[in-house]
Structure 1
Amino acid sequence: MAGPQTAEQMRKMALKKLTKVTKLPATNCTAPPPPPQPLPIPDFSSTLTPTTQTQLNHLTHIVKSHLKPCFTPQDLVSFLKSHIHHHPKLSHLDFHLFRYAASLDTFRHDHYTFEWMVRSLATSHRLDSLNLLIQFSASNPCPCSDGIFSCPKTEPIFRFALNAYCRVGRFDDALFAFDAMKRLIDGKPNVALYNMMIHGFVKFRQYDKALEFYEWMARDRVKPDVITFNTLISGYCRNLQFGLALEMFKEMKSKGCVPNVVSFNTLIKGFFREGKIEEGIAMAHEMIELGCELSSVTCEILVDGLCRGRRVMEACNLLISFSRKGVLPNDFDYFELIEKLCEERNVGRAMEVVDELWRKGNAPSSIACTILVEGLRCIGRIDEANKFVEKMLKEGIVPDSVTFNCLLGDMCDKGKAVEANKLRLLAASKGLDPDGMTYRILISGYSKEGRKEGEVLVEEMLDRGLIPGIATYNKLMHGFCKRKT
C-alpha cells in the first residue's frame, strides 16, 4: 500500500489534470482525469502527543465498553452520536475512530458513516482531514455502488463537502471533490452543485473562474437555472462590468430561463449605480409586464435611487402609480420617501402621498407616521398632526411616547388642553400607557387655562404611583388653588 506522501503526490497530480481539463477546448473536456489512488489508512496508534495519546486510550476504553466487536456502520454512527459527538475531550477524535474502523477486515464504511463524518469534519472546519476523507470515499465507494447503480446518497454527501470548501475559498480541494463525485454518481450532477461552485468563485471575486466553470457546465450538458444566471449577473455588477451583466441577462432569456425578482433587482440597482435612472425605471415596468411581482426590495432600490438623484417628486409619482395598479407590495415601508419630503419641508406632499397610499391599502409604518407627525409639528400644523394621530390610533398604529407627549405639549400651548386629554384617552384605549410626563403636560395645560378638570388628573396620577412625594403633589395642586383665589 502506498505511503501518505505518495497519496498526497497523486492528489496534486489529479488536481493539476483537473485544472487543465477546465481550460481545454470543448472537444477535449470530456476526457476524465485518472481516478485518485486509494488512501492509506494509518495505524490507530501512530505517533501522537502525550495528551492526544491519553485521549485515544480513553477512546479505546469506551469503544471496547460500548461497541460490540463485529459492529456495523449503523452501530458506529449510533456510537459516535451518543458517546463521542458531545464529549468535550473526545469529539475531535471521531476521524481517528473512522480510520480505525476502515482498517478492520470485518468492517466496510457505507453512506451512513460517510455522511456523518463529512458533516462532522465540515462543521468543525477540519478541512485537511476532510480532504483525506474525500480521497478515501472516492476510492472506497459505498457498498450500495456494488450493483448496477451508484449510491443515491453520494451526491448529497459530496455537496456538504463542496459547500465547506467554497465557503472558505479552497477551490483546488473543491474541484478535486467535484471531479471525484462526478465519477461516482450516475448521470450528470445536479445544477445546484454547479451553482455552489460558481457562487464560491463569485464570492471570492474570481469571476474568470466562475465564467469558466459556467462554460464547463454547458459542456457537461447541464442546463443552468435562474440561480446560475443571477449569481453571474451579480458577479458582473459587483465587478463594475454592467455591460457584461446585461449580456448575461439577454443570454438568460435566450436560453428560456425566466428571470425572477432577484434578477430584476440586481439589474435595476446596477442601472442606478451607472446613473441610468430612466433605464432602471423601464426595467421595473418590464418586470411588471412580465408578471413578476415587485418586492419591497425593488421599491427600496427605486425610491433610494430617485431620492439620491434629487428626483423625489418622481419617486412619489412612481409609488402612487404602482399603488393604483395594485402592484405595490403591502410590506413596503416608504418612510425614506416621507423623511426626504419632510427634510425639504414639503410636508403637504408627504401628507398627500401617505393619504393616497393608505387609501389604496398600503398603510404607513409607525416610523413613517412618526416622521410625518414631527414634520407637521415643525411647521406649526398642530391641528393636522392631531387629526393624523387620531387616524393612526383608530387604525391600530400607536405612536411612541416621546412624539405623543411633544404633540400634547404643542396642543396645550395653543390652549387645547381638553382636546389633548381626549387624545390621551384614545391612545390609552389603544395600548399607549401614559407616563408622568404625559400627565404633567396635561395638568400644566389645564392650569394655564384655569380649568379645574386638571385636579382629576392629579388624583389619577397619584393613584397610579406617578407622584414621588407630598411636595410634588402640593406643587401640582398649587396652580389650581391660585386660580380659585
Structure 2
Amino acid sequence: MVGSRNRFNCLRKWVGKDGIVPDELTYNVLIKGFFMVGKVDRAWTIMEFMRTKGCRLNGFNYATLMNGLSRDGKMNKAEEALEEMKRCGLKPDAVVYTTLINGLCRSGRTEEAIGLLEEMKVAGCKADIVTFNVLLVGLCKEGRLMEALSMVESLPRAGVQLDKGSYRIVLNGLLQGGELEKTAEFLFLMLARGFVPHYATSNELLESLCSGGMVRESADALVELVEMGFMPKLEVWCLVIEATCREKKLLSAFELLDE
C-alpha cells in the first residue's frame, strides 16, 4: 500500500518539478498497483491526473480500469467506464469489450454479456476467440449448456475459428452437468474437427459413459480417442473392456482389443 502511494508521489514530483511526462504504460502500472492493494479510488484519481496533465487515455488504460473494478465487484462502475470512454471519443476495441464481458460473466450476468457481443457487431468491432471463450465459460457456469453447445456448433459455419479451449470448455460443462448423451455426441464432433479433450477429461468421460450404461458409446469413444493419439489410464482401458464383456458383446470387445 505504501509502495503504491510513494510511486504516485514520485510521479507528481516528476511531472510538477522535473517536467517529465510519463506515457500511458507508466500510468497503467500505477492503476494496476492501486487495484492490487484495494485502492479503487486512487485508481480513478490516476485517470483524472492523466487528463489534467494532457496525457490522452487509451483503450488499454480503460481495460485495466474495468478489469480492476469488475474484480472488486464494482460492475456498475466498470460499465460507467465504458460509457465514459465513448464520451471521450475513444472507440472500444475487442480487448475493452472482452474485459467487460468477462466481468459480467463472472458476476452471473451472462445475458448482459451477450448483449455486449451484439453491441460489438453493431459497432463494427470483431470479437476474437478470447471473447467467445469467455462467453462459453459464462454460459456453462450458469448451466446454459445447450446454448453453449449451439454456439460451438454454429460459430465455425459463420467463419469463426475456434480453438481447442472452446471445445474443452463445452465438453467439460456437458460432462459436469450430467448430459452424457450430449457429451458423447459433442466428443465425436470435437474429434471430427481435430481437437482432443484434456487427458483427465477423456478418462473421466470414458468412466462416466461406462457407469451410465452407455457401453457402446464408451467403446466407440475409446477407439476414436486412441486414433487421435490418446492413451487411457490402464484402469479405464480395463473398465471399458469389462463393461463391454458384461453387456455380452464379446465380439465388440474382441474388435476393440484388436483396434
TM-score range with shorter-chain normalisation?
Answer: 0.7 to 0.9
Alignment counterpart, residue 312 of structure 1, candidates 145, 156, 162: 145
> 1:329-355, CA deviations, whole angstroms, 9 ceiling, x for partnerless residues?
313154454344345543222223233
Alignment counterpart, residue 125 of structure 2, candidates 285, 290, 303: 290
**2:156 is aligned with 1:323:** yes
Rounded to whole Å, the distance in 1 between the matches of 2:5 and 2:179 is 58
Q: CA deviation at 1:362?
A: 4.3
1:366 maps to 199
Rounded to whole Å, the distance in 1 between the matches of 2:154 and 2:112 is 17
CA contact (8 A) 1:334 1:368 kept: no
Alignment counterpart, residue 241 of structure 2, candidates 391, 408, 431: 408
Alignment counterpart, residue 171 of structure 2, candidates 316, 333, 338: 338
Relative distance call for 1:259 and 1:326 in structure 2 (3 A) is same
Relative distance call for 1:221 and 1:291 in structure 2 (3 A) is same
TM-score, normalised by the number of residues in structure 1:
0.47
Q: CA deviation at 1:220?
A: 0.9
1:179 maps to 12
Q: CA deviation at 1:291?
A: 1.7
Higher relative contact order (CA 8 A, sep 6+): 2
> 1:391-444, CA deviations, whole angstroms, 9 ceiling, x for partnerless residues?
111122222322212112222334455654554454xxxxxxxxxxxxxxxxxx
> 1:209-235, CA deviations, whole angstroms, 9 ceiling, x for partnerless residues?
211121110111111222211121122
Alignment counterpart, residue 237 of structure 1, candidates 70, 77, 81: 70
Relative distance call for 1:270 and 1:176 in structure 2 (3 A) is closer
CA contact (8 A) 2:190 2:196 kept: yes
> 1:131-160, CA deviations, whole angstroms, 9 ceiling, x for partnerless residues?
xxxxxxxxxxxxxxxxxxxxxxxxxxxxxx
Q: Which amino acid aligns with 2:44?
A: L
1:276 maps to 109
> 1:223-257, CA deviations, whole angstroms, 9 ceiling, x for partnerless residues?
12222111211222233332221121123244325
Any unmatched runs of 5+ in structure 2?
Answer: none
CA contact (8 A) 2:58 2:90 kept: no
Q: CA RMSD for the aligned pairs?
A: 2.9
Q: What is the identity percentage for the equivalent residue pairs of Structure 1 and Structure 2?
A: 24
CA contact (8 A) 2:136 2:148 kept: yes
Rounded to whole Å, the distance in 2 between the matches of 1:171 and 1:381 is 58
Q: Which amino acid aligns with 1:293?
A: D
Q: CA deviation at 1:171?
A: 3.2
Rounded to whole Å, the distance in 2 between the matches of 1:279 and 1:287 is 13
SS in 2 for 1:332: helix
> 1:291-326, CA deviations, whole angstroms, 9 ceiling, x for partnerless residues?
23122xx44543343234332212211222223324
Q: Which amino acid aligns with 2:34?
A: F
Q: CA deviation at 1:192?
A: 1.1
Relative distance call for 1:361 and 1:393 in structure 2 (3 A) is closer
